[in-house]
Structure 1
Amino acid sequence: MTETPRYVLFPGRHHLLTRFQAEYLQRLADEGAGTIVWAVTSANHENTKRNPVPYHRREAAIERFSVETGLRSVVVPIFDTAPTDRFAQVTLKTVTVATGLELTPADTLVACSTPQVAALYEELGFAIAPVEADPALTVTPERPWDVLLRLAAGDESWRKLAHPATVDVYDRYGLPAVVRTVVNDPVVGDEGGLTATRDYRTYVEAFADAAERKWAAVRRYVQPGRIVDIGCGAGAVLELADRDDALHESDLIGVEVARHLYQECVHKKAQGVFRNANVYFYQRNVLGGAVLPDRSVDTTLTFALTHEIWSYGRQRESLVEFARRIHDHTVPGGVWINSDVCGPGDRTRPVLLRLTDDDGANPASPRTDLASLPSAEVAAYVGGLSTRAKLDQFAVDFAFPFAFEARPGGTVRLPLGQAMDFLTRKDYTDNWLSETHEQFCGLDFADWVTLLAEAGFDLDPASHPLRNDWVVTNRIAPVAQLFADDGAPMDWPTTHAVIVARRPRNS
């Protein structure tokens, strides 16, 4: 590198800029650096704990920073990639494609305080300016992420540490509230989903396959106007609503918390999948705060969602909070249609279960290390177990602990709810660690009646529990038999419910 670099490459997420960064970059400029190249990583991520601020707001703060400091800047978005030792090369090539600049060790200094990232550039011959990690500093400055965590914790001292350009952009666009909501969210993971172990490809395929059946079951209860699908996945149900001529003047709104699924919705809209011009998507966690104004929604749809709120939140407390939020945004006389799994009415009743043990392996004991394995290995291992051995493994991995008793004659004794939780989940080996984190039978239909009344809804007579006979016939009955505690054969119980809840017109 020449003694006076022409460029400073500054890679990072840059959610927040600090006064220290301004002073540090100014020193580099005083030494002759002409242009700061801001490589904004994870530019395609937003509304996640690791990346709470969208790229366009980060870019706006950098540009304002540049104007206020007089530092000449070029801002380049770097999309997230799978972990790779060639991340430095990917960043450099992206800069070249976006700007035409070919940064080399001869003319570029890399400003980076993360040792692992700095090492990637050092291997390419670049000199490193360590920014906050500079050993020559007498006082270690707070890193931008630490300042952002101050903001998330409600510590207003972040304003003194952040650069005024960041403070201005944050205040103008209400970003402090966004950051606090996302970073402190008790349900959503670091990457903007409920779980890090879900295979979203198989999830999208399964939901798309079932979309027509789900829509046909609830269409007659849908009221035109503003129609919101919460937990919309990749938008499969909204596609069907979009094709319904009777709803062509309705607004269709999808709300999805998982980043992968939200991005697929946005992609579909950009590709012209929807005919209706009034189709909108939001990446939000409804438990994190109101998404839509009070008394503004005619129909809310939720499919296979409420059991996730129960499982990843605080069980009934979270579900009541969710129901109240829906009640608040529903117009008087409006409707919430919920289709989901549902526990049997007597789910605590002890039952006997006989499971096939000749359809797979029967290890001496279940494994306790599946969480440390790649998902493909987990799927292969669990998929190779017998149905009886899967129960042993399920009891280890299930996030809602239960015990069962092995009985003479090859049966096991356990509560009916836990038996159905296992039997309705045992075949989801592709997403085993995700599925075992979710409880299907936390509520029965009577529990729903009580919960909805507590949230202020009236239950429509069309609401009903039901049994998915396809699942029973094809997945459960071939490998399992159910008996009462006295040994009498039992019929298979409720597995699902369709709930139509209305906000009273005078509320």
Structure 2
Amino acid sequence: MYLLLPGRHHLLTRYQKDYLIQLVKDGLSEVKDHFGNPLRISKFPQTIIFAVTSANHNNTRRNPLPLYQRAMMVQDFSKDIGIPSLVIPIDDIGQSPNFASYTIKKIEAETEMQLHLTPANTIVLCSTPVANLYSELGYSILPVERIPGREDKYHTKLPWEILEGLAKPVGKGENKTKEELVSYMDPTSIRLWNVYGIWDKIKMLFSDSVIGEDGDLTESRDYNTYVREMDTIAELKFNETKNYILPGRIGDIGCAVGSWIKLACENERLFESDFYGVEIARHLFQVCEQRKENGEFLNPNVFFLRKNAVSGLVYPAGTMNTIHSSSLTHEIESYGNRDKLLSFIQNRYLELAMGGVWINRDVVGPEDKEREVFVWFQDADGTNLGQEPKSFADLKEYLDSLSTKERFFRFQSDFRKEEGYVLRTKSIFVDGIEYHRMKLADVCEYLSKKDYTDNWESEMHESFCFWSFSDWKSHLESVGFQVSSKSHAYRNEWLVENRYLGKTKIFTSEKDVPHSKEDLIPMDFPVTHMLLLAEK
């Protein structure tokens, strides 16, 4: 008989080993299945098959260990059990009612059709609800940690409970709790975790608010839309930065789908360079790897790393000639916090070789962002009826139906609401026309986001105007950077022509309360972006 033990297998426990050894020693006749009935199978186990699920994922909370580390740990663990073991990788297919049948077929394919598992020759060992999927296929189930019966009770802690407990910060008097959790682990797991520094890795992954469970920046991001946008603007980004790239070791942090690196590889000045793209989002990282496999990069020395650039160094200290980032630093501020952004800046300084440059292209706030201005919004380009979103097929359709003015009111209620931000305005009428008094930064935030109705919920978390160009310069210099005189803030004229004009007007006034249109002074739309060249 085969024993099939499916799971992610990021750690293995003493209980699991004792359970398996007992099965091998005593056989399957009297052991109880998940209903509490004896199996009454006279045959003894001959081989254990560890189906390592989510094998294509790593460096995330749900899947911190890569496949090779899990496979080594399983093989080491199996030495004491007394029968042969096989490790079979099972790629993630998401939540699927066909997961069990997929796993069985994948095992057959991975063993070149030599291993055909059936309910007649295989017992499944599983303590989670996934067991039901195998049971529906006719397999007998041994519940391992789970006490047989209808109630969710367990003989011991589950591996995932142990891992999550170890990832939590150690509070006062909690060292004993950590020691207790470690005591559940099999020595083979402890050994591998020590060698590969897994203890610190899981603490980092679980403490980082910038990324989600599966390593993505935000769960509300529409990745297909995002990839199309990144490809569309790749040439603009590269043309804006290409003259400042220093040959040698070149990194692109937050490289998305690798478009900037692809264009850099085609620049003859950079033919002898090595390129290192860093991308934490799983879907985008996979696109990068696929592009490399397709031969889309002219330079063979292109490497992609799935690492978190917020929490530490992603390149060895003092080794990089150029580091590029685009549209990234505002996300760190938005989804993380100020300390994470300052840490990110410090890490880039440490990674650069002397004479190296960090090219940072991103959005930026106006210099006088706290200044109060008077804003007119167009109200004839959509509805102003205050209809409920439920009247529409989806949020995008609802938002697209609103006038610029009405959409602002929705923005006012949504913008960084979860972060506790309150966007304050006051309505005034001047010569019969309504204006809204607010901070310059707030109207800039609205203008920068009002047309992104595809990703509205994600955009509502993002702050663009937290620092002005001079704020950026000051913070960079405080860690040792010299900001090149070629650095500058600028206004994206395409945005002005296509999204701002006719939709919004901004005014200042020398009077606290303007009474006539003569009291309102028209103001140009402020800067929207910056190119920072931070040299070491």
Both proteins in one fold, TM over 0.5: yes
Residues in 1 aligned to 2:127 and 2:154: alpha-carbon distance in whole angstroms: 15
1:233-248 aligned at under 5 Å gives the runs: 233-248=256-271
Please state if 1:313 is matched with 2:336.
yes
For residues 379-409 of structure 1, what are the alpha-carbon distances to aligned partners after superposition, in whole Å with 9 as ceiling and x for unaligned? Answer: 2332332222221221222114312223332
Specify every segment of 5 or more residues in structure 2 that has no aligned partner in the other structure, as ranges: 28-43, 171-177, 515-519
Over 3 Å counting, the alpha-carbon distance change for 1:346 and 1:365 in structure 2 is farther
Tell me, in whole angstroms, the C-alpha distance in 2 between the residues paired with 1:68 and 1:383. 63
Cα deviation, residue 135, structure 1:
4.0
Distance 1:366 1:192 in 2: 34
Is 1:217 aligned with 2:240? yes
Q: Which amino acid letter does the alignment assign opposite residue 390 of structure 1?
A: R
Alignment of 1:275-290 (within 5 A): 275-290=298-313
* Whole-angstrom distance in 2 between the partners of 1:242 and 1:302: 16
Q: What's the counterpart of residue 138 of structure 2?
A: 125
2:414 paired residue number: 397
Structure 2 CA distance, aligned partners of 1:427 and 1:9?
52
Aligned to 2:368: 346
1:182 corresponds in structure 2 to 205
Contact in 2 for aligned 1:85/1:120 (Cα 8 Å): yes
Match among 489, 496, 507 for residue 472 of structure 1? 496
Q: Does 1:270 align with 2:301?
A: no
Following the alignment from structure 2 to structure 1, what is the Cα–Cα distance between the partners of residues 238 and 261?
A: 9
Give the equivalent residue in structure 1 for 2:35. none
Could you tell me which residue of structure 2 aligns to residue 431 of structure 1?
Answer: 455
Give the Cα–Cα distance (whole angstroms) in 2 for the partners of residues 318 and 269 of structure 1: 31
Q: Find the partner of 1:449 among 469, 473, 477.
A: 473
Q: Which amino acid aligns with 2:362?
A: D
**Could you list the per-position Cα deviations for residues 85-144 of structure 1 after superposition, in whole angstroms to 9, with x for gaps in the alignment?**
2222222221222223332222222211113x1222222222221111124999731111
The counterpart of 2:534, out of the listed 478, 501, 505, is 501
Give the partner amino acid of 1:432: W
2:343 aligned with 1:328: no
CA contact (8 A) 1:424 1:476 kept: no
Partner of 2:37: none
| Structure 2 partner of 1:406 | 427
- In 1: Cα distance, 2:305 partner to 2:251 partner: 10
Q: Does 1:97 align with 2:104?
A: no
1: CA distance, partners of 2:136 / 2:385? 47
The answer as to whether partners of 2:332 and 2:341 remain within 8 angstroms in 1 is yes
Distance in 1 (CA, whole Å) between partners of 2:259 and 2:154 is 54
Deviations 1:135-193 (A, max 9, x none): 49997311111222243236354443212222222223333232222222232111102
The answer on whether the counterparts of 1:53 and 1:179 sit within 8 Å (CA) in structure 2 is no
User: 1:150 touches 1:156 (CA, 8 Å); kept in 2?
Assistant: no
**AA partner of residue 413 (structure 2):** V
* Other-structure match for 1:16: 11
Aligned to 1:355: 377
Q: How far does the alpha carbon of each residue in 1:301-349 deviate from its partner, in whole angstroms, 9 at most, with x for none? A: 111111011111113x222211111111111221111110001111111
**8 Å contact from structure 2 (residues 262, 298) kept in 1:** no
SS at match of 2:229: helix
Tell me if the contact between 1:225 and 1:297 (Cα under 8 Å) persists in the aligned partners: yes
Q: 1-side partners of 2:137 and 2:397: how far apart?
A: 40
Q: Which residue of 1 aligns with 2:20?
A: 25
Distance in 2 (CA, whole Å) between partners of 1:208 and 1:265 is 12
Separation of aligned partners in 2, 1:42 and 1:21: 20
| 1:28-177 superposed matches below 5 A | 28-30=23-25, 31=27, 32-99=44-111, 100=113, 101-115=115-129, 117-135=130-148, 140-153=155-168, 155-177=178-200
SS in 2 for 1:465: strand
Q: Distance in 2 between matches of 1:348 and 1:173?
A: 48
Deviations 1:422-453 (A, max 9, x none): 11111111111111110111111111111111
Alignment length (residue pairs): 491
Q: Deviation at 1:365?
A: 6.8
Q: How many Å separate the matches in 2 of 1:87 and 1:282? A: 29
Aligned residue for 1:302, secondary structure, equals strand
Structure 1 counterpart of 2:251, from 225, 228, 248: 228
Match status 1:298 vs 2:321: yes
Which residue identity does 1:38 align to in structure 2? F
Give the 3 Å change call, closer, same or farther, for CA 186–138 of structure 1 in structure 2: closer
CA RMSD of aligned residues (A): 2.2
**2 CA distance for matches of 1:156 and 1:275?**
51
SS of the residue 1:37 aligns to? strand
**Distance change >3 Å, CA 80–CA 384, structure 1 → 2:** farther
TM-score, scaled to structure 1:
0.92
Amino acid at match of 2:162: V
Identity percentage over the alignment? 41
Q: Deviations over 1:184-233 (max 9, x none)?
A: 22321111022111111111111111111111111111111111111111
Aligned-partner SS, 2:349: helix
The question of whether the paired residues in 1 share the 8 Å contact of 2:310 and 2:341 is answered with no
Cα distance in 2 between the residues matched to 1:71 and 1:379: 58
Is contact 1:61-1:165 (8 Å) kept? yes
Corresponding residue for residue 3 of structure 1: none
Q: Which amino acid aligns with 1:405?
A: K
Gaps of 5+ in 1: 1-5
Within 2, Cα distance between the matches of 1:336 and 1:448? Answer: 13
Q: What is the alpha-carbon distance in structure 2 between the residues aligned to residue 494 and residue 203 of structure 1?
A: 24
Residue range with higher mean Cα deviation, 103-112 or 227-236: 103-112
- 3-state SS of 2:290 partner: helix
Letter aligned with residue 223 of structure 2 = Y
**Counterpart of 1:417 in 2: which secondary structure?**
helix
Rounded Cα–Cα distance in structure 1 between residues aligned with 2:388 and 2:413: 7
Tell me, in whole angstroms, the C-alpha distance in 1 between the residues paired with 2:18 and 2:409.
60
Greater CA radius of gyration, 1 or 2? 2
How many angstroms apart in 2 are the aligned matches of 1:361 and 1:37?
61
Partner Cα separation in structure 1 for residue 244 and residue 415 of structure 2? 35
- The answer to whether the 8 Å contact 2:147/2:154 transfers is no
The SS at the match of 2:145 is: helix
Q: C-alpha distance in 1, partners of 2:403/2:315? A: 47
